[in-house]
Structure 1
């Protein structure tokens, strides 16, 4: 007993000593943290795989864990791993060390001379690893095994060594006599120039039988494709070369497309000719092939692309479609091209890959409209460079410009009914968008037409559309409904088209058999719309979870529950979970990536989230059968997963052939390491990505609640430093966006965030972090933020542990706008950082979101900015909600982030804010990371931003010395040289 007491006292002392030795997280420490990515399970469930990658930059490591031995094998600098379908092999890329690449680049080594990727082939049975250098790419079959295809590039020939032997100089005079001319047939043969391996000529393709070790090499392969379910490979080679050691059957290859039967191994030509070949495609079992070809040897600018097709009983790939095909639209007589006019001939698309239906009965490909050709006789200085914007254009010029490259490659679907040898044209400029059932077996497609309503996008941001049912047998197009705001879905079996109607806040379905439309839901029992919507628009749907097999029923969501819905609208909607009573949100987890519908009696894995405690877990659901109770019977997942204070990933993995799962759980203090679960092993933690976390101060998080200035109960998150003492006073940073309290149990690993503070970094250094939820009132977004944030801050100050003289704001984008607004309304805050803020809603309203080309008006009229009307309808609200018009009231030093390539918020908004404060003599700084978008993306810029933001807050809240960049800026002469830290 005495010894036990001494042991306990020693353990307590060691724990206290360790706690005292913990340190704050500095920027140099952040580089130690790793993320877990690329999680995989082998199909037999015996192997778990993941990559650990630095949060900043550096080399990834692959981790391979075995369920039988419990051992983990680590592969440095490795990534993009794939298991073979039979779970016997692991194939992955090994990257050159990043430090090595940087060192060589500093020595001005050319890119082509830098180290290349290496292929790793691991035999999982014996652990033997083979490495193959100079890898370009690799491919494993999806649904069969035993073979691997990969491409490599040849070694660059070494430069000939110079003869450095000492030679005595010859001081005698030398007379140079030219040799006599060679007679015909004399002399050495002219040395052939090696054919270069590159993206135009192709690279070596190696096809290897993994268990037997047999392999073949095919030279200069530009493109290849493996069949999904059968042992066949399709390839295009640009022809043999005379300088590579080829296999016996490879040295006779000419430019063309070839098919390899892998079992037994046999290579056969499908088409050998001069020309271009691309968009190779095989059906699932490799019994049919298709590709597009251009065999024209002229220099015609409009290329006559052909569609070539092969099946098992053919010796070669035949032309089945070309520019003269009957199904292509023909120009009208009045539109026949004249010498000065553009061509009118349609063509087979070179940009659309042919696709076979799963049942191999149909081949889909693209028809391309006539190209618009430029005048090649004009000199560059003769070309007029002007944009013409017209008020009655369907789309803004900027939107058209953003879509330009896609429009140049646009094609319209055509289906070839293989057994009937018949083509049906499906799409056209009059119906440009078609959606097909995933297997593409059904004879129904969904047609969508937005063109009559495109101008609505400017004001609403949401496109209206007409819906059509397209018959794949005949090409007939039947309008289903006009002018909908919705995201329509085609059912998996092709029997229904379902949609959510915004104005009706209800689900509807069109029956392909009867042509009738049924309303499926109303909102009398429960609301099926977003109950928390606070934007000036129709509330949105909660979505479809899945369809039952044969399109028997839809599973849809309300806020909390799943509902079984009859797509014909004849049966009453049936609730199959009971989440609303306990405020628990249930959501379906799709375990099979290829699942298209749910078998009628199959159990469903659900993720659950309690809206009150924010705790999460998993459970199984058996769908109720006919004439049973409304509630499904829950069955255990090993044991039901539900733990207060934890979040569980929705990206859970299941092995294909065994009841094995890989998932993660997390909370503020617990990193989401991977957990392997099976009946044999139980549950086992298999990763430990960040053991160094124990060395640092971390802190804790809790939910807080208060009453707003308008009398509303509001929640928020309060993050406290480790060793928090309520009798002390702490500096506090208020970080916000809209609603963040649902993230209570999310882990926040140190990272160089692109837009906000890292909670754990700041709390480890003695800060409090407060994240309030913000409920909004339409027309008053700024005041809504003021009411929620100010009431929350004053509530915390009243508790005594917040130093009211050391409170700061930090927000980005919408949060940046709110930060800028708040400093015009109160002088409570010691300092503030506003990232990508809107300062002037009147000028931002007419601006452009350059990443999409959209005018910004819609977000004020209908979406996040929440004004609820046009600038001319509500000028007062635009002005009152704009910080720019009240900058004379600002007393808070402000740090602004506004990048010159911001595609969401025009960066001149940050300039207006900065120049206004500067004109008024208010302390302000603006950071512009050149050529960066809405936030810094490059790692060096993210590190720089986080350093400057921390120095800014440390100066005002921790009395740290003012850095040089705050005292005097960083002049252009010093840019990129002296950072001013």
Structure 2
């Protein structure tokens, strides 16, 4: 018996994975838990050749460069760069620092990304509790153990590093990286930071004195201040504002740092009933605004009703040269309604002429009777549904924006319940009159936009439209907007009040020519502002292909900067700001270019999917100059929904070295994983990394295919084929859709567990499917799903004629809106063998009337522009729930009870109706999951079930037990039903 036990132990140690699978198959032994159930997937013999297919192990161990820019950096001299490899080793990552010329490399496992020194001599990072100095180009590594944290700051020609030890005296070391020497050591430091100017190291010290220490990095001067509560330095490092507390007497002090002499500008009353709460300097460092809280016992309104405890706020103002700060605004100041009180921090406008502050309504606190009847009374006259009112947090009341000039004393309220403050433009505020509320049917007019004078409070009408599409010129002289009603750009001279249509003579439409988003209003949105010309000599705009230069005064005719080359050749040009030396940047404004600046343009060929770069000089006639184009994805405006956003490299701007014309770019293709490349001219690219995890598996190829839609118009899509594709074989096809994905032709997506109805394309293609992702464009005035039917049915008919497609084995799938499209297509077409609908709408009437979770608002309000209700009731007859009897294809539904976007009841309605008609339908509902699933176990389970479902109907695989006999509710979490039925039994 002893020897038998030893044999069993040895066997189990050698076949651990198999033993685990055997145990998991016996549902009577342990509760159901997903590990790797890919052995329950069916693979035909003809597919069991060549490279292995992608399975759970492949997904778990998939590795590659970090898809975001986290951890990516270039040394200032452009000779070295660093990047991060995800999941290598397993469940960890590796930081790599390597030479651009590939002659040197160093790696760290599991360390956080660090930074290069300003002289490009070191790479500094933290490994565990040690600070590491790696000498670039050499294998020299110096460790400083026992470090709790560090900060790096570069100032001029010097560069400073501070780190703090994990010791009882809380030592902070200031280190000069250029001389490789410790400059200073400070003790008892609780917090530290560099100021924005880079002149000062600020250290908050421990101890009862609450001492603040400032060390000047340039002069070596040390300043000390005691009893410090808060402090702020101006951006130039010349001034500091201190809030101090001595025996509960709060003071505010003005401190010129050149002298270190303090001037008290405000102090609390003798009883200590008030204190400074928030303070802010203007950009010049010459003005200060701050909030003072009056710590009174209680606050009452005019009816002696208690409205708030222990808070009464006032705003104070100080300007350099004044003796003391002065009270600027209080709750009952002129211009402030009696039911509002000051709330939150004040702030200066960018020109320092005005102080912005917030107001909050007073709330009457009334105690409820615990013995009273608890009943919700819904009344058709209510301005807001009871469901909305019940969800409102009484402590989270809307705030309103107000303003007061620094030179005058009149407050002006800029926003109200129906008027939203959007921003400041010189002496004016831009506001939106929002009329699209709950009772929108009583307000037929659409939203409008106005300018409000911050001097007088008078209002000036701008435009009526649903979306703002508004921009402000760099010097705030012009307001610039796209008028949806006429499809043109207008400039508004803020000084003269004159409007001018400045795109009137452009012969092409300046909005999106092909509606790419089904939401109302998005079909004719402008394609966007590319940038501005210096001196406000013009604005650069996009159409669907080219870039235009418009004169803000409207006196000069528009100029097609790219000479119509984009439209003529089907190329979409866009600016990538990081590539253009002539550009400067203003927060919230965008790039500003010199009038003869040379622009590097990203380019995407809409015909063949190529991506690359062109160059064009402003004020020079002619076509842009080709730098490079090819069948890859480098930098485009793309949204990788198909890959759950994990690999959306198209949104990443090339990264430039600080002191050299060296760029690091990321490039990928369908068969070439995302990797880093080096360039100096965007013509030639040198590969820096070559990580290819997909090469070990039966991967995929991609091609762009144009096809006729049902209305005879042409669309396009991407067809994915397995690497071991055999043109003599007949393949099943899965069609996956949402909006447009053809720009992702050259993306190399990472496989993942499906958390929704977006297909894991590598997974299915690796297993012998063709996957097609058609572009859907939407027709105004028709239900959105009808446009999807027009596209998807056209795609299916086209694909079915290809010699390598099994026309009787075509499936469709979609999630969210596309789940609704699937439900519609299924009830209006008999072309499809099987369908998957994930979190989609099935009943257009109840979908309009249900309450959106978390906010209690009926979806009717959000969908008011859609042609779906009583006004066009004949359209409602197209609703999927009204056409269940026409369904000929089996359907798998996935929808979760906690879905906050589309109610679970939509799936229930469709399931119950199909069940009543005897249609083949299954529904999966995962506990504690929302619109998109997050739990990896659930995503694994869903991936398996979707695969089994399509394998059965599109590959004639055996049915799994859950499809044949189901999983009884009392065995939920115990049995999984994933066993395949083979020869009358289950595997």
Question: What does residue 464 of structure 1 align with?
Answer: 447
Q: Does 1:519 align with 2:506?
A: no
Q: CA deviation at 1:369?
A: 2.7
Question: What does residue 874 of structure 1 align with?
Answer: 872
The one of 399, 407, 410 equivalent to 2:399 is 410
Question: What does residue 27 of structure 1 align with?
Answer: 56
Q: CA deviation at 1:794?
A: 3.0
The 1:546–1:463 alpha-carbon spacing in structure 2 relative to 1, beyond 3 Å, is farther
List runs of 5+ in structure 2 lacking aligned partners. 1-47, 216-221, 251-274, 300-308, 579-583, 636-649, 979-987
Superimposed CA distance per residue, residues 75-130 of structure 1 (whole angstroms, 9 cap, x where no aligned partner): 33344756677767766676xxxxxxxxxxxxxxxxxxxxxx86856566675454
Q: CA deviation at 1:920?
A: 3.0
8 Å CA contact 1:588, 1:605 repeated in 2 = yes
CA distance in 2 between counterparts of 1:329 and 1:806 reads 71
Which secondary structure state, in structure 2, belongs to the residue aligned with residue 673 of structure 1? strand
Q: CA deviation at 1:51?
A: 3.4
The 1:262–1:589 alpha-carbon spacing in structure 2 relative to 1, beyond 3 Å, is closer
CA distance in 2 between counterparts of 1:451 and 1:400 reads 19
The one of 61, 64, 81 equivalent to 2:97 is 64
Superimposed CA distance per residue, residues 786-822 of structure 1 (whole angstroms, 9 cap, x where no aligned partner): 3432332233222232223432211112221222223
CA distance in 2 between counterparts of 1:928 and 1:314 reads 68
Q: Does 1:841 align with 2:844?
A: yes
Alignment of 1:770-785 (within 5 A): 770-777=772-779, 778-779=781-782, 781-785=784-788
Question: What does residue 479 of structure 1 align with?
Answer: 460
8 Å CA contact 2:336, 2:411 repeated in 1 = no
Question: What does residue 183 of structure 1 align with?
Answer: none
Q: CA deviation at 1:915?
A: 1.9
8 Å CA contact 2:426, 2:477 repeated in 1 = no
Q: CA deviation at 1:736?
A: 1.6
Which secondary structure state, in structure 2, belongs to the residue aligned with residue 369 of structure 1? strand
CA distance in 2 between counterparts of 1:214 and 1:533 reads 62
8 Å CA contact 1:561, 1:586 repeated in 2 = yes
CA distance in 1 between counterparts of 2:432 and 2:234 reads 43
8 Å CA contact 1:715, 1:772 repeated in 2 = yes
Q: CA deviation at 1:935?
A: 1.4
Looking at secondary structure, tell me which structure has more strand per residue.
2
Alignment of 1:531-546 (within 5 A): 531-533=513-515, 539-546=524-531
Which secondary structure state, in structure 2, belongs to the residue aligned with residue 873 of structure 1? helix
Alignment of 1:239-258 (within 5 A): 240=208, 254=227, 256-258=229-231
Question: What does residue 549 of structure 1 align with?
Answer: 534
The one of 214, 218, 225 equivalent to 2:184 is 214
Question: What does residue 736 of structure 2 align with?
Answer: 735
Question: What does residue 949 of structure 1 align with?
Answer: 946
Question: What does residue 609 of structure 2 align with?
Answer: 614
Superimposed CA distance per residue, residues 44-85 of structure 1 (whole angstroms, 9 cap, x where no aligned partner): 544434334459994344333444775343333344756677
Q: CA deviation at 1:905?
A: 1.8
Superimposed CA distance per residue, residues 744-764 of structure 1 (whole angstroms, 9 cap, x where no aligned partner): 222222123433111111111
Which secondary structure state, in structure 2, belongs to the residue aligned with residue 888 of structure 1? helix
CA distance in 2 between counterparts of 1:308 and 1:205 reads 38
Question: What does residue 193 of structure 1 align with?
Answer: none
Question: What does residue 894 of structure 1 align with?
Answer: 891
Alignment of 1:144-155 (within 5 A): 146-147=159-160
Alignment of 1:206-285 (within 5 A): 208-209=174-175, 211=177, 212=182, 214-216=184-186, 227-232=195-200, 240=208, 254=227, 256-258=229-231, 269-273=242-246, 274=248
Q: Does 1:450 align with 2:430?
A: no
Q: CA deviation at 1:740?
A: 2.7
Question: What does residue 67 of structure 2 align with?
Answer: 36
The 1:345–1:450 alpha-carbon spacing in structure 2 relative to 1, beyond 3 Å, is closer
Comparing 65-74 and 743-752, the one that deviates more: 65-74
Superimposed CA distance per residue, residues 162-196 of structure 1 (whole angstroms, 9 cap, x where no aligned partner): xxxxxxxxxxxxxxxxxxxxxxxxxxxxxxxxxxx
The 1:874–1:764 alpha-carbon spacing in structure 2 relative to 1, beyond 3 Å, is same
Give aligned pairs, total: 845
8 Å CA contact 1:240, 1:251 repeated in 2 = no
The 1:412–1:319 alpha-carbon spacing in structure 2 relative to 1, beyond 3 Å, is farther
Q: CA deviation at 1:704?
A: 2.3
Question: What does residue 588 of structure 1 align with?
Answer: 575
8 Å CA contact 2:893, 2:921 repeated in 1 = yes
Question: What does residue 77 of structure 1 align with?
Answer: 110
CA distance in 1 between counterparts of 2:751 and 2:94 reads 19
Which secondary structure state, in structure 1, belongs to the residue aligned with residue 883 of structure 2? helix
Q: CA deviation at 1:422?
A: 7.2
The 1:252–1:286 alpha-carbon spacing in structure 2 relative to 1, beyond 3 Å, is closer
The 1:698–1:746 alpha-carbon spacing in structure 2 relative to 1, beyond 3 Å, is same
The 1:974–1:323 alpha-carbon spacing in structure 2 relative to 1, beyond 3 Å, is farther
Q: CA deviation at 1:331?
A: 5.1
Question: What does residue 797 of structure 1 align with?
Answer: 800
The 1:576–1:725 alpha-carbon spacing in structure 2 relative to 1, beyond 3 Å, is same
Q: CA deviation at 1:951?
A: 2.5
Question: What does residue 366 of structure 1 align with?
Answer: 357
Give the CA RMSD over aligned residues. Answer: 4.6
CA distance in 2 between counterparts of 1:820 and 1:925 reads 14
CA distance in 2 between counterparts of 1:934 and 1:687 reads 37
Superimposed CA distance per residue, residues 311-331 of structure 1 (whole angstroms, 9 cap, x where no aligned partner): 88899xx75557637866455
Q: CA deviation at 1:544?
A: 1.1
CA distance in 2 between counterparts of 1:386 and 1:604 reads 65
Q: CA deviation at 1:562?
A: 0.8
The 1:320–1:138 alpha-carbon spacing in structure 2 relative to 1, beyond 3 Å, is farther
Which secondary structure state, in structure 2, belongs to the residue aligned with residue 597 of structure 1? strand
Question: What does residue 985 of structure 2 align with?
Answer: none
The 1:539–1:662 alpha-carbon spacing in structure 2 relative to 1, beyond 3 Å, is same
8 Å CA contact 1:147, 1:207 repeated in 2 = no
Superimposed CA distance per residue, residues 652-701 of structure 1 (whole angstroms, 9 cap, x where no aligned partner): 2233443222222222112221223237997433334x432211111211
8 Å CA contact 2:732, 2:806 repeated in 1 = yes
8 Å CA contact 2:801, 2:807 repeated in 1 = no
Question: What does residue 324 of structure 1 align with?
Answer: 330
Q: CA deviation at 1:400?
A: 7.3
CA distance in 1 between counterparts of 2:936 and 2:972 reads 17
Question: What does residue 571 of structure 1 align with?
Answer: 556
Q: CA deviation at 1:936?
A: 1.1
Which secondary structure state, in structure 2, belongs to the residue aligned with residue 346 of structure 1? strand
The 1:450–1:794 alpha-carbon spacing in structure 2 relative to 1, beyond 3 Å, is same
8 Å CA contact 1:458, 1:857 repeated in 2 = no
CA distance in 2 between counterparts of 1:141 and 1:431 reads 47
Question: What does residue 660 of structure 1 align with?
Answer: 662
Alignment of 1:849-860 (within 5 A): 849-850=852-853, 855-857=858-860
CA distance in 1 between counterparts of 2:848 and 2:418 reads 32
The 1:687–1:883 alpha-carbon spacing in structure 2 relative to 1, beyond 3 Å, is same
Question: What does residue 693 of structure 1 align with?
Answer: 694
Question: What does residue 907 of structure 1 align with?
Answer: 904
8 Å CA contact 2:336, 2:413 repeated in 1 = no
CA distance in 1 between counterparts of 2:167 and 2:971 reads 44
The 1:845–1:392 alpha-carbon spacing in structure 2 relative to 1, beyond 3 Å, is same
Which secondary structure state, in structure 1, belongs to the residue aligned with residue 609 of structure 2? coil
Which secondary structure state, in structure 2, belongs to the residue aligned with residue 845 of structure 1? helix
Q: Does 1:818 align with 2:801?
A: no
Q: CA deviation at 1:546?
A: 1.1
Question: What does residue 219 of structure 2 align with?
Answer: none
Superimposed CA distance per residue, residues 220-262 of structure 1 (whole angstroms, 9 cap, x where no aligned partner): 66xx8754334347788997499xxxx9x99995461246899
CA distance in 2 between counterparts of 1:430 and 1:582 reads 50
The 1:858–1:889 alpha-carbon spacing in structure 2 relative to 1, beyond 3 Å, is same
